[in-house]
Structure 1
Amino acid sequence: MKRTILAISGGGFSEEKRAFIDDYLLKIPRKKESLKIAFIGTASDDAQGYIDKFYKAFKAERPTHLSIKDFTSPNIQDIVNALDIVYVGGGNTQYMLHTWRQTEFDTVLKKAYQAGVILAGISAGAMCWFETCYSDNDQGKYEVFKGLGLLQGSLCPHYNHEECRAAFDHWASAQYNGIVYTLADNENVHFINEKLVAKIST
């Protein structure tokens, strides 16, 4: 079963009316019929405005969303496995991963990935798939924490932002000896079976 992850640094449906990277994502499954795509807005605490933008952007497909309360549904694994694409939004990465682990939704996503469901996400939803995350917490201080570990290394989105770049570079050069991916807001990376196959600039 082919395993696919698309990590999006910036842009996408929340910032652009017709985002190239979203069109690119929809072409990955190569299906003629409309796609089953679900938005996960945990990192923004299920912000309704964010969810509304998702539905508007993907109205030509078969869009749905999964809120935090849905994660403990008894049939959640079947629901996620039936999707073509999972699209994870941006926001607070630590909060998102903590919530997923508390509800065991992290395991659901890992099993869906192994079953061939395409995983995609922007910002927090891009870095979460990697072994190690380095990002700001609720107090605005940068710290290291574990990602889901589906991909080796660590990813820094928004690398064109001076504060983000300086903090990540300092940590990576002084404390981290793994693979690093640094992406400006218009850069994205596509992995198949844990191998980088494309870097897309938009």
Structure 2
Amino acid sequence: MTASTAAHADPTASAARPPTILATSGGHRAWGARTMVEFDALVHHAVDLSGAHGRRPRVMYVGTAIGDAEHFAARMAEAARVAGFDLVPLNLFPRPNFDDVEAAVLEQDVIWVMGGSVANLLAVWRVHGLDDIMRRAWRSGVVLSGVSAGSICWFEGGTTDSFGPELRPVTDALGFLPYGNGVHYDSDPGRRPLIHDLVANGTLPTTHCTDDGVGLVYRGTDLVEAVAEVPGKGAYVVTREGDAAAEERLEPRRLPGVR
């Protein structure tokens, strides 16, 4: 990573557990050895980043972007059991499932946010004040992580199919990280050219992108490492140069696999 891809870390962060985000296009896969969903190396890396040891790691699963679908929460719970994690879901439909949502969030080691509709996620989180709670959790050292919509949400914005089959920009994400975010960069052919257009015309700032199976690690707002659970995949930094976009590939470090 170069200094040009990073900003200064958040000055309010705890020295012991700096604010950490793992933004990914991966993390779990269908049909594990014993479960319908299995945590892949990126979820395990989020737990490693939290520093949890000597006990079962505490992971909160947030499925807002798929409407808190109960069947998927159950599959994630089974994946966590096999992985040796204590997982609790945070549901906001039809109402929050905790009396004190902030206390529940702050006692976690890791927050894992599922993909789906990032536009709906942002709207529902803001209604419930979860955007501010997540910022306090980040500053306190809880690792924020997730896939797809659960990646874009931490940035200024990115590309989304939240509004229909045609990809469109979203520019009002939480902004913890002062960049755009491009997910599924290699598997959805419309995303790379749209990211380039949006960066070139100034709709998105410098944008950090991930192929499927790749994650980006941030300490504070500094991009410190790209990591991958799948070989041969890449991460990318797209910057504006005049009226055009320029793309730099970052080679991820391959994580120890669980495959």
Determine which structure has more spread, i.e. the larger CA radius of gyration: 2
For 1:28-177, what aligned pairs fall within 5 Å after superposition? 28-30=49-51, 31-59=53-81, 60-69=84-93, 71=96, 73-141=98-166, 142-160=168-186, 161-176=188-203
Q: Which residue of 1 aligns with 2:209?
A: 182
AA matched with 1:44: I
Gaps of 5+ in 2: 1-13, 33-38, 230-259
Q: Any idea what SS the aligned residue of 1:169 has?
A: helix
Q: Which runs of 4+ in 1 moved over 6 A?
A: none
Say yes or no: does 1:9 pair with 2:9: no
Deviation at 1:87, TM superposition (A): 0.5
What CA distance in whole angstroms lies between the structure 2 residues aligned with 1:166 and 1:29? 35
Q: Which residue does 2:232 correspond to in 1? A: none
CA distance in 2, matches of 1:193, 1:84: 16
Q: Residue 21 of structure 1 aligns with which residue?
A: 42
Cα contact 2:214–2:226 (8 A) shared by 1: yes
Find the residue that maps to 1:64 and give its secondary structure: strand
Q: Deviations over 1:132-182 (max 9, x none)?
A: 233223322313331111101111000112122222222222233622111
Secondary structure (helix, strand or coil) at the match of 1:175 reads: coil
For 2:31 and 2:217, how far apart are their aligned partners in 1? Answer: 20
Contact 1:14 1:50 in 2 (8 A): no
Instruction: Assess if the C-alpha contact under 8 Å between 1:6 and 1:191 holds in 2.
Output: yes
**Deviation of the 1:41 alpha carbon:** 0.1
* Alpha-carbon distance between aligned partners in 2 of 1:176 and 1:123, rounded to the nearest angstrom: 20
Q: Which has the higher contact order (CA 8 A, sep 6+)?
A: 1
2:123 maps to a residue whose letter is H
Moved more, 163-172 or 74-83: 163-172
Give the match's secondary structure for 1:65.
strand
User: As a proportion of its length, which structure holds more helix?
Assistant: 1
Assess, with a 3 A threshold, how the Cα gap between structure 1 residues 71 and 179 changes in structure 2: closer, same or farther. Answer: farther
CA distance in 2, matches of 1:29, 1:73: 23
User: Comparing 64-73 with 144-153, which one deviates more in the overlay?
Assistant: 64-73
CA, structure 1 residues 177+97, in 2 after alignment: closer, same or farther (shift >3 Å)? closer
Measure the CA separation in 1 of the matches of 2:98 and 2:142.
19
Give the partner amino acid of 2:74.
Answer: D
Residues 60-107 of structure 1: CA distance to partner in whole angstroms, max 9, x if unpaired? Answer: 111100001454855111111111111100000000001001111111
Consecutive unaligned residues in structure 1, runs of 5 or more: none
Question: How many residues end up aligned between the 2 structures?
Answer: 201
CA apart distance, 1:32? 2.3
TM-score by length of 2: 0.72
1:41-62 deviation line (CA, Å, top 9, x unaligned) = 0001111232122111111111
Assess, with a 3 A threshold, how the Cα gap between structure 1 residues 97 and 16 changes in structure 2: closer, same or farther: farther
Task: Say what the alpha-carbon RMSD is for the aligned residues.
Answer: 1.8
